[in-house]
Amino acid sequence: MSWGVQERPAIRPPARMKFDALRKQELLLLPERVVQLNETAGAILRLCDGRRTVGDLTRELEAKYGQTGLQDDIAEFLTQAAEEGWVERWS
C-alpha cells in the first residue's frame, strides 16, 4: 500500500506525539505503549496532521534538511507507520 503525493496522512487517534525534553527525543504515545522515535521519524510524524499532503511533507522536510529526493523514503516510512497503526489516510 503506497502513498500518493496528494494523500494526506494523519496520526491515528488516540495516538499523539510528545517531545521528551529530558531525553531530547520524540515519542509516539499509544494506548499501553510508548514508541521512541529517531529524529527523522519524529519530524515526519509531527507533520502528519491530515491537512498536509505527502507532497507538502516532502517539500517541508527537504527544505529542513537541505536535501532532495526524499519522497520515496517518506512514502516508505508512512507505509510502515500505517502497518503499525500509527497513521491513517485522512479524507
Per-residue pLDDT band at 2 (split at 50, 70, 90): confident
CA atoms within 13 A on the CB side of 45: 28
Residues 41-74 pLDDT 10s: 999 999 999 999 999 999 999 999 999 999 999 9
* Residue 57, Cβ density class (10 Å: 0-12 exposed, 13-18 middle, ≥19 buried): buried
Residue located via cell numbers 519524529: 42
Q: What is the pTM of this model?
A: 0.93
